[in-house]
Amino acid sequence: MEMRKHRPLCDYRPPPTELEWMFYPFMHPDMYYRYFPDANSTFHHAHAPLLVKNYPNINRLRYEILKQIEYYFSDENLKKDAFLKNNDNMDVEGWVDIHLIAGFNRVKDLTNDIFLILEALRPSRVVEVKGEKVRKRDNWSIYILPSSSSSTETSSLENILGEEN
**Banded pLDDT at 6 (limits 50, 70, 90):** low
On whether the CB atoms of residues 60 and 51 are closer than 8 A, the answer is no
In this prediction, residue 17 carries a pLDDT of 47
What fold is seen in the domain 58-146?
Arc Repressor Mutant, subunit A (1.10.10)
Of 60, 58, 34, nearest to 47 by C-alpha is: 34
On whether the CB atoms of residues 122 and 111 are closer than 8 A, the answer is no
Domain boundaries, the chain: 11-55, 58-146
* 45-66 pLDDT per residue, tens: 444 444 444 445 668 899 999 9
On whether the CB atoms of residues 26 and 80 are closer than 8 A, the answer is no
In this prediction, residue 159 carries a pLDDT of 53
Q: What is the mean pLDDT of residues 109-114?
A: 94
* 122-161 pLDDT per residue, tens: 999 999 999 999 999 988 888 888 875 544 444 544 555 5
- The percent of residues above 70 in pLDDT, for the chain, comes to 53
Q: Which of the pair, 152 or 5, is modelled with greater confidence?
A: 5
The structure's pTM equals 0.56
When the pLDDT of each residue in the chain is averaged and rounded to a whole number, the result is 72
* 10-35 pLDDT per residue, tens: 555 555 544 444 444 444 444 444 44
pLDDT at 67 > cutoff 50: yes
